[in-house]
A and B are shown apart, each in its own frame.
Chain A
Amino acid sequence: MTATLTSRRLTTAKAIVEAIGDEMAADPNVIVLGEDVGAYGGIFSSTTGLLERFGPTRVLDTPISETAFIGLATGAAVEGLRPIVELMFVDFMGVCLDQIYNHMAKIHFESGGNVTVPVVLTTAVGGGYSDGAQHSQCLWGTFAHLPGLKVVVPSNPYDAKGLMTAAIRDDNPVVYMFHKGVLGLPWMAKNRRSTGEVPTDSYQVEIGKASVARRGTDVTVVTISLSVHHALDVAERLEADGISVEVIDLRSLVPLDRAAIRESVARTGRLVVVDEDYLSYGMSGEVIASVVEHDPRMLTRAPIRVAVPDVPIPYARELEYAVLPTTARIEAAIREVMPQ
């Protein structure tokens, strides 16, 4: 009757915890620290059960002092541990950014390559649930802009586990950003793509490789994180209208898989970039530059960006959804790049 499971469905949050737990079991140098990562299990369930399993010397609840504990993690990494340190919301980066971009990101460079900093900085991103301007941002473009950090943003349970395993084993600092809307939390809005098949064995998803989330021939939608789900929903809907949409899930911003973007746009000739981060100076512009710097003739139509306009994210639900890259905005952009 009993069979050994090779895979089963998990939420993205549980897939993240499984990767961390597997690496902690395999390597005593892997530790977890941050606000409410222990007894509470992470306010977005990204560390549930780890304290009970590995004890308080390897799972540390920290005071509300991000500069101190992120600096602690960087120092521990320099000395040979492999810490996973959680910044509860990416919106709080302002109180600890010096530790991240001047130290964590630069020690390897400034030591002439002699010192590695194998730390994973996890953080929750994204809006859509009325949490206001200081708890709803993505800000991945900001981290991606700063040299010395890898930046990964999974959209589904399989990638979340494989990317976390790869991030922990990476000798570089990796910023691992999880969107609250893809975690499959019981108290968030239901999202069918936040639960999926995950192998029980340990595996890695290579950081820096995009995936083709859906094959298509008419238009390429390049996106990341929760917007991948929205783009796939739109692509399913537009199939009935005879529009074939290819969806590229970047999975990481640093390294950026420019080759995958160009390979797709070379086939479709049309590009829509969907980004839940702010419009200007960010991922959407970088993706388009990846194409036009290579060969602007690849595009048969001007590309369109669907992003958060350069305003703070409103609390009021109607206003928040007016700025987020909703399925309605994505669909309108795709129809606009198609021949009229």
Chain B
Amino acid sequence: MTDVLFPRLSDQDPDGEGVVATWFVDDGATLTVGQLIAEVAVDKVDAEVFAPADGVLSIFVAEGRAAAQGSVIGTIA
């Protein structure tokens, strides 16, 4: 099991929340390591999230919902 983390984007506000802007794959999708899976934003800074492992994705934080930087937004099993 590998966690998919919300990247840390803000040095000034490391505890600030961001938003999972887009999931490019569905819950239950089979992923290849390195594949683009999501895009997140904190304030006006955005970042891409790539699959950290091969496997099947479980999404914990739905598109458009807030999450803390560094928090788990999904897992790959």
Could you list which residues of chain A lie within 8 angstroms of chain B, going by C-beta atoms?
1-3, 5, 8-11, 14, 184-187, 190, 195
List the A side residues contacting B30 at CB < 8 Å: 1, 3
List the B side residues contacting A14 at CB < 8 Å: 36
Q: Are A186 and B25 neighbours in the complex by a CB distance under 8 Å?
A: no
19 extra interchain contacts, Cβ-Cβ under 8 A, other than A2-B32, A186-B21? A1-B30, A2-B54, A3-B30, A5-B35, A8-B24, A8-B25, A8-B35, A8-B36, A9-B25, A14-B36, A185-B46, A186-B19, A186-B22, A186-B39, A186-B40, A186-B46, A187-B41, A190-B64, A195-B24
List the B side residues contacting A1 at CB < 8 Å: 30, 32, 54-55
> Which of B36, B39, B46 is packed against the most chain A CB atoms within 10 Å?
B39
In the complex, the chain B residue whose C-beta lies closest to that of A48 is B48
CB distance from A129 to the nearest CB of B (A): 13
How far apart sit A3 and B30, CA to CA, in the bound complex (Å)?
9
CB distance from A16 to the nearest CB of B (A): 15
List the A side residues contacting B32 at CB < 8 Å: 1-3, 5
Chain B, 1-47, CB within 8 A of any chain A CB: 19, 21-22, 24-25, 30, 32-33, 35-36, 39-41, 44, 46
Q: Are B19 and A10 neighbours in the complex by a CB distance under 8 Å?
A: no
CB distance from A15 to the nearest CB of B (A): 12
In the complex, the chain B residue whose C-beta lies closest to that of A187 is B44
In the complex, the chain B residue whose C-beta lies closest to that of A185 is B46
List the A side residues contacting B44 at CB < 8 Å: 187
Describe A's contact surface by its main secondary structure. Answer: loop
Q: What are 22 residue pairs bridging A and B, where the CB atoms are less than 8 Å apart in the complex?
A: A1-B54, A2-B32, A2-B33, A3-B30, A5-B32, A5-B35, A8-B25, A8-B35, A8-B36, A10-B36, A11-B22, A11-B39, A184-B22, A185-B46, A186-B21, A186-B22, A186-B39, A186-B40, A187-B41, A187-B44, A187-B46, A195-B22
In the complex, the chain B residue whose C-beta lies closest to that of A11 is B22
Binary contact track B65-76/A, C-beta < 8 Å → 1, others 0: 000000000000
In the complex, the chain A residue whose C-beta lies closest to that of B47 is A186
How far apart sit A195 and B54, CA to CA, in the bound complex (Å)?
23
List the B side residues contacting A184 at CB < 8 Å: 22
Given A186-B19, A187-B44, A190-B64, also A10-B54 (CB < 8 A): no
In the complex, the chain B residue whose C-beta lies closest to that of A2 is B32
List the A side residues contacting B64 at CB < 8 Å: 190
List the A side residues contacting B33 at CB < 8 Å: 2
List the B side residues contacting A8 at CB < 8 Å: 24-25, 35-36
CB distance from B52 to the nearest CB of A (A): 14
In the complex, the chain A residue whose C-beta lies closest to that of B40 is A186
In the complex, the chain A residue whose C-beta lies closest to that of B64 is A190
List the B side residues contacting A3 at CB < 8 Å: 30, 32
How far apart sit A70 and B55, CA to CA, in the bound complex (Å)?
47
CB distance from B10 to the nearest CB of A (A): 14
CB distance from B21 to the nearest CB of A (A): 3
In the complex, the chain B residue whose C-beta lies closest to that of A1 is B54
CB distance from A4 to the nearest CB of B (A): 8
In the complex, the chain A residue whose C-beta lies closest to that of B32 is A2
Q: Are A9 and B40 neighbours in the complex by a CB distance under 8 Å?
A: no
How far apart sit A187 and B64, CA to CA, in the bound complex (Å)?
11
How far apart sit A125 and B38, CA to CA, in the bound complex (Å)?
26
